Structure 1
Amino acid sequence: MDLHLFIKLGISAILGLVIGLERELKRKPVGLKTCLVISIVSCLLTIVSIESSYVFQLKDHITMDPLRLAAQIVSGIGFLGAGVILRRGNDSISGLTTAALIWGAAGIGIAVGAGFYWEAILSMALLIVSVELIPLLTVFLGPKQLREKEFVLQITISNAENIDDVISAIKQQTIDIKTIHIKDVDEKHHLLKLKVAVDQKQSTTDVYYFIRSIPSVTNIEIENI
């Protein structure tokens, strides 16, 4: 086996390692080992696809597409991506970034296997910048919607007449109410479910303590979206 093929697999492993570490540090379901496997095997299959097309063409005069296996890698990664996309009880969806990154790890493996080293390195760097640096910049420089984080609040109120007072008190703070859902728990208690947005710099505990201090609130639950 030629040395440059070992070099291809090594570069692919290093680039996949960087992507995997980024996911591992964030405790995502697809981490270091998965990204390494995807990147290395994608590179390997691309090498096999390219090399075999020339081998069979020379021996048996068979015309083959040198990237036929690489095309199937892109489709096959979709099954892994679908497995990490989760829908939570509050109708929010998580795992899309992880699914996109494993697709990116496969693309980087294919690029290295095909011999596009610098393109693969640049792509890996841009991927890390996109998922790490850009979100931080939007917190300070982006529009208001990108500088906000959303919560789901479930507030138990002791009296139905106090619901308007609670909503008014929340609106007086820097809390933007997106949706309101009211449910009767029993004759004396009522559940107020709110989807709200606050500034990224405002902590979850500050929101909790403020709402808990409202006299008619007997119970509160906060969930990050």
Structure 2
Amino acid sequence: MELNKIFFLRLILASILGGAIGINRELRAKEAGIRTHFLVSLGSALIMIISQHGFNDVIDMAGYELDPARVAAQVVSGIGFIGAGMIIIQKHSIKGLTSAAGIWTTAGVGLTVGGGLYFVGISATILTLIGFELTTIIFKQIGTKTTMFEISTPKKEILQDIIQLLRKKNRYLQKYEVKDKKIEGETVYYATFYIRSNNPREGTMLLEEIQTIPDVIVERADFSADE
């Protein structure tokens, strides 16, 4: 009975630590949130407990050799299926890698707590949260920012003017897509542009410049198109 209480506390602690990481991801509107991290950490702790103690009834039987790490090791490879589902590749742009890495780390936290290494599990959770927040703050200050614009125009030649505008100093045009559509017998061109810049205000300044171009309508703008 005492052992069951210990197992129960391990599951609770693993759930709390996984949920703490999930809250951070949820607040930043990432692919995996509280429930995903909660369940990954809880499930990993459960599998670790099973791996260590689930076969005690046969451990003394002749002909049986047990490896307590065998079942737990499958979490490390198996969690890749969840992580892969969060990674999105669009036109040579990859999103979701950080979320996938977070899930992988959360699985490690669950395994650690399930194995009874409470201090290590708590430390790993704290370091993970610090890593998420600290890198976000640093890259906001010194890193580049991705901005996405969707525009429409009836004149195709205007698109070249916009491209030149996007390639001005301190702006890096990552990619763009152009589509055309017939509306009431006239061709309307729709274009989506992604740029990166070092200046946090560059997106707002760029939007103001685009809006001054005749025959151009800004359909949508996203100043936080980063992962």
TM-score category of the 2 structures, normalised to the smaller one: 0.7 to 0.9
TM-score by length of 2: 0.78
Which letter does structure 1 place at the counterpart of 2:197?
A: V
The correspondence of residues 12-91 of structure 1 with structure 2, limited to 5 A, is 12-60=14-62, 62-88=64-90, 90-91=91-92
What residue in structure 1 maps to residue 171 of structure 2? 175
Q: 1:17 to 1:60 in 2, by over 3 A?
A: farther
What residue in structure 2 maps to residue 121 of structure 1? 122
Deviation at 1:177, TM superposition (A): 3.4
Q: Deviations over 1:41-78 (max 9, x none)?
A: 21111111111344422355622001111011122211
Moved more, 180-189 or 71-80: 180-189
Deviation at 1:136, TM superposition (A): 0.9
Contact kept in structure 1, 2:21 and 2:129, CA below 8 Å: yes
The correspondence of residues 93-104 of structure 1 with structure 2, limited to 5 A, is 93-104=94-105
CA distance in 1, matches of 2:188, 2:132: 43
What residue in structure 1 maps to residue 134 of structure 2? 133
Deviation at 1:208, TM superposition (A): 1.3
What residue in structure 2 maps to residue 111 of structure 1? 112
Contact kept in structure 1, 2:178 and 2:189, CA below 8 Å: yes
Contact kept in structure 2, 1:53 and 1:65, CA below 8 Å: no
Q: 1:94 to 1:8 in 2, by over 3 A?
A: same
CA distance in 2, matches of 1:190, 1:31: 37
- Superposed CA RMSD in Å reads 3.1
Q: Secondary structure at the match of 1:151?
A: strand
Q: 1:172 to 1:35 in 2, by over 3 A?
A: closer
CA distance in 2, matches of 1:118, 1:111: 9
Q: 1:183 to 1:34 in 2, by over 3 A?
A: closer
Moved more, 21-30 or 154-163: 154-163
**Which 5+ residue runs of structure 2 have no aligned equivalent?**
none
Contact kept in structure 2, 1:184 and 1:191, CA below 8 Å: yes
Q: 1:53 to 1:206 in 2, by over 3 A?
A: same
Contact kept in structure 1, 2:145 and 2:200, CA below 8 Å: no
Count, aligned residues: 218
What residue in structure 2 maps to residue 213 of structure 1? 212
Which letter does structure 2 place at the counterpart of 1:177?
A: L
Q: Secondary structure at the match of 1:58?
A: coil
- State the identity %: 31
What residue in structure 1 maps to residue 197 of structure 2? 198
Q: Deviations over 1:102-149 (max 9, x none)?
A: 111111111111122111111111111111112212333x4xxxx211
Query: 2:10 is matched with which residue: 4, 8, 11?
Result: 8
Deviation at 1:219, TM superposition (A): 2.9
What residue in structure 2 maps to residue 149 of structure 1? 145
CA distance in 2, matches of 1:160, 1:129: 47
CA distance in 2, matches of 1:179, 1:34: 32
Q: Which has the higher helix share?
A: 1
Q: 1:61 to 1:51 in 2, by over 3 A?
A: farther
Contact kept in structure 2, 1:139 and 1:200, CA below 8 Å: no
